[in-house]
Amino acid sequence: MISKENELELENAIKLFAINSKATLSLNEASIYSGFSESHLRLLNKNGTLFFSQPTGKKLFISKVELDSFLQQNTPSSLDTSYL
């Protein structure tokens, strides 16, 4: 029998697998993908750091390319050793 914790891990792994094949993510999917809470992503959208679209006026969507770009900001260069 699978424990509840293992069941949740498996469920999240399946969701991540599905998310990785998409070009556009919903707010919930962006939260799972990035590790940020939905409320934090909403705040980043509100202050103009991230740009979500609202095609129906209700549900928020973001390009995975844009989200990846945001997540990779301020990463140290592989040649920059000053952070070590």
- Provide the pLDDT for residue 49: 92
- Decide if 60 contacts 27 (C-beta within 8 A): yes
pTM summary value: 0.75
What's the per-residue H, E or C state across 47-69? CCCCCCECCCCCCCEEEHHHHHH
Angle at 40 between CA 37 and CA 44, to 5 degrees: 140
- Provide the pLDDT for residue 1: 72
**Total structural domains within the chain:** 1
- Within a domain: residue 67? yes
- Provide the pLDDT for residue 77: 63
- Provide the pLDDT for residue 78: 57
- Within a domain: residue 8? no
Closest CA to 67 of 45, 47, 50, 53: 50
- Within a domain: residue 62? yes
How does pLDDT run across 61-82, given as a tens digit for each residue?
999 999 999 999 876 665 555 5
Q: Give me the residues of the chain with pLDDT under 70, please.
A: 75-84
Domain that holds residue 48: 19-71
- Within a domain: residue 34? yes
- Within a domain: residue 13? no
CB atoms inside a 10 Å sphere around CB 32: 16
- Provide the pLDDT for residue 82: 58
